Amino acid sequence: MKHAQEPTYSFVILTLVLILVNTALAWLSVKFIPAGTGDIALVYIAVAFMILFALWFGAYGVIAAYVGTLFAGVLTTESLLQHPEVAAIWAVAGLLQALIPLVAARIFEIDLTLAHRRDWTIILLFAVLINNVVGAAWGAFTLSFLGPVDVVGAFSTWLAGNIIITLLVVPLALRFLTEKVSTSKLFVRHYWD
């Protein structure tokens, strides 16, 4: 008899759908909101959804953040397509931007409906600020592997755009959608459930 919480094909399908959504949002961001600095987006809409997916669907969302960032990087950036080894390293930025809030949420056992001030503070700190600083630093630095890049400009643009979109989307989506999402069998309370 199967354990009720054992991952099934549903989580595989969920992960594939999340990868497609992340890839599409990342591709749209880079193609239609380009920053003109190192093939990055001025506002990277995908980052807010990568964070939400990680918080709601655990490690499946983190996997989708990495793979979606990788696919979008290769699809939108000629230099990453020619250097898949750099693309694989560069995509770690997406992984970190989703993993940091997930780990913080689980360690601090926050209520994802953001019912308390403490929960808001932790989300703002780990899902808006720290994760985006780390992701922007990682991403801008790895772009320098492809040739001369204004690392400071890429970092600043990446960080500002990501903070804006995550600040606008993540807390509100958590506050108003988590209760509904948490009723799904696919909602992950820890990392893998």
Q: How far apart are CA 135 and CA 91, in angstroms?
A: 9
Segments making up each domain of the chain, as ranges: 9-181
The residue with greater pLDDT, 90 or 127, is: 127
Looking at domain 9-181, its CATH class is: mainly alpha
Instruction: Give the pTM.
Output: 0.90
Q: Which long-range contacts (CB under 8 A, 24 or more apart) does 139-146 make?
A: 139/40, 139/90, 139/93, 140/38, 142/86, 142/89, 142/90, 142/92, 142/93, 143/38, 143/39, 143/40, 143/90, 145/83, 145/86, 145/89, 146/79, 146/80, 146/83, 146/86
Both tokens assigned to 4: 């009720």
Average of pLDDT values for 173-181? 97
Q: Is 80 exceeded by the pLDDT of residue 124?
A: yes
User: Could you tell me where the beta strands, DSSP code E, fall in 46-92?
Assistant: none
Q: Is 60 exceeded by the pLDDT of residue 8?
A: yes
Percent of the chain with pLDDT over 70: 94
Average pLDDT, the chain: 90
Q: How many CB atoms lie within 10 A of CB 190?
A: 10
Residue 5, pLDDT score: 55
The residue with greater pLDDT, 140 or 149, is: 140
Q: Is 90 exceeded by the pLDDT of residue 38?
A: no
Is residue 120 very low, low, confident or very high in pLDDT (cuts 50, 70, 90)?
Answer: very high
Average of pLDDT values for 105-131? 97
Average of pLDDT values for 17-23? 96
Q: What is the pLDDT of residues 82-112, one digit of tens each?
A: 888 888 998 999 999 999 999 999 999 999 9
Residue 1, pLDDT score: 37
Angle, CA 114 vertex, CA 113 and CA 120 arms, to 5°: 155
